Amino acid sequence: MFDRIDIPFGRTVAAVIPFTCALIGVILSNFPVVFLPAELKPPMLSLMPIYFWTLVRPDLMPPWAVFVIGVLEDVFSGSPPGVWTLSYVATYALVDRERDAFAGLSGVAAILGFGGAMLVTTVVAWLVAAFDRGSLPPLAPLSMQFAMSILLYVPVAMFLGLIHRRLVGPLRSDF
């Protein structure tokens, strides 16, 4: 299917796909139509591609892309400036540094690995929001967002794996 695509063009498209996945996650997480009860915050759909691509193809999810996705999450969610930017960059630094340990996980351990990354994101976001507000924000909304994100990670990771196998892998290989 992709053997007719010019190789430099194919590599460019493959390089843009991980960022686009995270961008779509930002848009879906902050879509103005609410399908969940008001007390449930949407899952962190933008963090899932960051985590996935940092493990699978770290060359395609550089730190600047994580920073941009964090800024966009801050802007679209209406959260205080830097909450998600700092949270995503901190999580990226952890996952990038411990990539071998995270990438070696499978099954339930892989979900727990994402849970650990999500915990870092949640704690950093809570601390930044506390610093911004000057008081401790409630834990319940972030806890629910944490739980929703972990529940949805498996189907999202399966979808991202399909994208990797069907699009990114063939587009980046040398024909």
Q: What is the mean pLDDT of residues 2-27?
A: 77
**Looking at the domain that runs over 7-172, which CATH code has it been given?**
1.10.1760
In the DSSP assignment, the letter for residue 58 is G
The answer to whether 114 and 153 have CB atoms below 8 angstroms apart is yes
- pTM reported for the whole predicted model: 0.87
The residue to which tokens 């929703």 are assigned: 148
Residue 166 has pLDDT above 80, yes or no: yes
The answer to whether 15 and 161 have CB atoms below 8 angstroms apart is no
The residue to which tokens 């909304």 are assigned: 141
How many C-beta atoms lie closer than 10 Å to residue 101's C-beta? 11
Residue 1 has pLDDT above 50, yes or no: no
Tens of pLDDT, residues 19-46: 999 999 999 988 876 666 666 678 899 9
∠ Cα 70 30 73 (to 5°): 10
Tens of pLDDT, residues 109-152: 888 999 999 999 999 999 999 998 888 888 888 888 899 899 99
Each domain of the chain, given as residue ranges in start order, spans 7-172
Tens of pLDDT, residues 45-104: 999 999 999 998 898 999 999 999 999 999 998 888 899 999 999 999 999 998 888 888
Contacts of 129 (CB under 8 A, 6+ apart): 79, 80, 83, 137
Q: Output the CA–CA distances (angstroms, integers) from residue 74 to 44, 86, 105, 139, in the order listed.
A: 12, 10, 30, 19
